[in-house]
Amino acid sequence: MTVAIFLGSLCGAMALGMPIAFALLFCGIALMTFLGLYDTRILAQNLIIGADNFALMAIPFFILVGELMNAGGISKRIIGFGLALVGHIRGGLGYVAIITAFIFAGLSGSAVADTAALAAIMVPMMADAGYKKSGSAALIGAGSIVAPILPPSIPFIIFGSISGVSVMKLFMAGLVPGVIIAVSLAITWWYMARKQNVKVFPRKSFKEVLTATKDAFWALILPILIMVGIKGGVVTPTEAAVGAVFYTLFLCFVVYRTVTVSQLWHILISAAKTTSVIMFLIAAAMVSAWLIAIANIPAMITSWLSAYLDNRLLLMVAINILVFIVGTAMDLTPTVLILTPVLMPLITKAGIDPVYFGVVFILNNAIGLLTPPVGTVLNAACGAGKVQMDDLMKDVMPFLIIEAIVLVLLILFPQIVLVPLKFMLG
């Protein structure tokens, strides 16, 4: 009955069009009332506790980095760098989109932000070169979902803050799967683009490649600086985020001189709005998370899946099917916030490595960003690329399938994540 109250109140509130954060609060109030614990002071206390987490301080800073990157024209420099490298290959602009999405992921940590920024610039460029607009937007959206599993992934920070798993280890563990996804997309694009009648750009001279590299160099080394700093124990993820903001400000005001003081105010407001939405979601989810623990829902879920506890593979398959289904109807952040406290006790009891699970869990949720009806990356690609959802859905399927195959491989072969992680941690 407790699970029915939890799911019924949450799904019912969302079905009525209630924003996710308020739906989570409504769900919490329904559970509190059912359990006889209703108290506004408990509600307020858990809201405050939900946002009072040092690890979460990294989120507004990485969001601000993304806003500065877009406003400062750094995005265009990175695209120019990719174009200089592979623009002369058939389908070259597609490879540029994949390379740029990968680099963007190391700067912002947000798939939706990367999709919106990249699609607005590259879809018109690809359309002028003869590429299908919906196909271009689909590739950009599929490439952008690498952001949640590459540092400085915002979902990793949220998952780590709730589960108690090291954010630094999650960052390290996401590197190899992120590279695998990028390579898989490039292979898929090669197969799709080889017969397309599109414009092939002239090969850039060594001097032009050098110039493009020099132009984008300062932006390209930021992800490396973040990773080296965290891996070397010099900075925490939060401190790395603060350093990234100052570094990006230095680029925008001193190196590239593309942002003025008056523009900075609007950039800060935009970053604050995005941050407030995410932080309110996290705070609201803490109310539900606390009540999930009080109502002993994890134990109920464990009892339902107890038949799989002795078989880690079957358990991971069952959990990922559940996560995939939920991900089609719910955005990444609330899914992570709701399911993490439910699933982590089960993962611990089964003896599954929590860092490995975190990577698979976040990747599954990231793939959900490409699935209707909620798929926020799809909506961002539609809006920024000015394409129809129906056309986009058809063209995104090959990329969605290949990313699902990568997910299956990670479930079948945990060593893909664990062996490189062990090597990187020394």
Query: Taking the CA atoms of the chain, what radius of gyration do you get in angstroms?
Result: 22
Distance of CA 223 to the CA centre of its chain: 16
- Amino acid at residue number 388: Q
Residue 309, pLDDT above cutoff 90 = no
Q: Tell me what pLDDT residue 359 has.
A: 96
Q: Tally the residues of the chain.
A: 426
Q: Tell me what pLDDT residue 299 has.
A: 66
Residue 234, pLDDT above cutoff 70 = yes
| Phi-psi region at 164: left, alpha or beta (left = phi > 0; alpha = psi -120 to 50) | left
Over residues 39-68, the pLDDT tens digits come to 778 778 877 777 776 667 777 888 888 788
- Kindly report the backbone phi and psi dihedral angles of residue 92, in degrees, each rounded to the nearest multiple of 5, phi listed first: -55, -35
Q: Tell me what pLDDT residue 302 has.
A: 65
CB 410 within 8 A of CB 416: yes
Burial of residue 197 (CB within 10 Å: 0-12, 13-18, 19+) is: exposed
Q: Tell me what pLDDT residue 82 has.
A: 86
Question: Closest by alpha carbon to 115, among 56, 150, 82, 70?
Answer: 70
Measured between alpha carbons, how far is 15 from 21 in angstroms, rounded to an integer?
A: 13
Distance of CA 21 to the CA centre of its chain: 19
Measured between alpha carbons, how far is 303 from 305 in angstroms, rounded to an integer?
A: 5
Going by pLDDT thresholds of 50, 70 and 90, the confidence category of residue 34 is confident
Over residues 67-100, the pLDDT tens digits come to 888 788 787 888 888 888 888 888 888 898 898 8
CB 72 within 8 A of CB 184: no
Q: Tell me what pLDDT residue 353 has.
A: 94
CB 93 within 8 A of CB 122: yes
Show Cβ contacts of residue 196 under 8 Å, excluding neighbours closer than 6 positions.
90, 91, 130, 131
Mean pLDDT of the chain, nearest integer: 83
Q: Tell me what pLDDT residue 83 has.
A: 84
Range name among 29-33, 150-154, 358-362 with the lowest pLDDT average:
29-33
Measured between alpha carbons, how far is 208 from 210 in angstroms, rounded to an integer?
A: 5
Over residues 339-380, the pLDDT tens digits come to 888 888 889 888 899 999 999 999 999 998 888 756 778 877
CB 401 within 8 A of CB 177: no
Going by pLDDT thresholds of 50, 70 and 90, the confidence category of residue 414 is very high
- Cα dist from 105 to 117, 144, 221, whole Å: 12, 7, 13
Q: Tell me what pLDDT residue 3 has.
A: 66
Going by pLDDT thresholds of 50, 70 and 90, the confidence category of residue 298 is low
Q: Tell me what pLDDT residue 178 has.
A: 93
Over residues 120-142, the pLDDT tens digits come to 888 888 888 888 888 889 999 99
- Largest Cα–Cα separation, the chain: 73
Residue 417, pLDDT above cutoff 90 = yes
